[in-house]
Structure 1
């Protein structure tokens, strides 16, 4: 019989700072927002159906929102996860986001000008085609300007350690055609991470225990770049082609000590841990 306990403790206090900007222009209107410290959206209407709810928003709520994620975060079933900066369901599980019935990324949601949102459909009983992929489905129905563009970027960074979450997006619409660019980065770089590990088990009537403490330089960088084209005729057809490239690299360089015990005997060791990895993952979604 073997019993192994593994405990990993990581501590890296840090202070965070965020920056966000968004801009948009269409044929009849333009919006430029440099900084909004607080957005309160209270005015929404809900219509309940057997398998989903429809949410609509009044003019004041749409004009106060920086982007469509602000609207989604006001739905009682959804909330903003401050760690990942993404919208998640309060009941847990995977949430699939659509724009006019087409699967969409977080950056695509942010690229929608709020005043172009007609309604949001929240499915707590997912349609059959999505039932095996997600517990909830959110479909954002929009009106597209005949000619218009939008762009935006946001960055959250730590002041005292290597921590960056950032994204940028740009979109251009002309008639039924929509073009978009997306980029996101997730970076970590910790100089003095402390990791404690404990292995404790019994094997062949002997008691073994290993206690390790390591101080390392640890980090990773995740890039996600996307290029998309969509041709949509509302109520008739929708086509989207999207190319994505994911680049990921990580490293770990550490020194530490280990105390190994077998029954009543103990031995001490020094440890060295060096590792790194790199991979890329291109994909095309039609």
Structure 2
């Protein structure tokens, strides 16, 4: 199931399901059928498997005419960020080739990390599909991109074993880990990676059952149509169960938390010569089975 947060005619954003080129208004369909489901995606995730089963039964039980009645063409609605996560946990240096390019261009160690390298992004950094990534020339001349598979947590995870980790995954999305490379402070990344609009997120959340496990998904990123990154999630150094086990060893993961699982090589800082985002650019991050997350870059001043 492909879950989206959408709006049309300036209405309040609400929960929908993407089916081909249509968005089914799940909130309106639920009210019409007299069912009981949360109207927003974060609450839906927090309601657990029962909500997912109820939504699936509702959709399967509707006639084609009923579904069409509550569907909108995808290009006639506005998609928003799926939800505002409680926590966004980033994973640095999680692809071997990115470790190598980072050691050359970002002063990080050239040895592979022995444990996941973790950092955080605030929820205020989240922005949705089609929304601008803000370029503030007073703060950065090195605005960079990173296409990452986002793992959405579906149930509380505390001191989870690797073999149990998949039970806590609700689904997957895309997060573009935007960074102001010249705003690292004494090696700390929070301001560099946490500014407003530095976490484009979406366009949908695809439930875990809809993606083969473990996910081995082609991923790429284009700037103005030119491919900058191209890899596959199978090349992660620390796999998803390892990440969940490591993080939950000392930090409780809650429904709606997001783990951005790391970037492959091809970031702007690692290119020769380095290339960085400027106002007017269009960034498109694509992950197979999830979709494409496209955002323009705009001047914030």
Between Structure 1 and Structure 2, which shows a larger proportion of strand residues?
A: 1
Q: Which has the higher contact order (CA 8 A, sep 6+)?
A: 2
Between Structure 1 and Structure 2, which shows a larger proportion of helix residues?
A: 2
> In which range does the TM-score fall when normalised by the shorter chain?
under 0.3
Query: TM-score, normalization: structure 2?
Result: 0.22
Query: TM-score, normalization: structure 1?
Result: 0.22
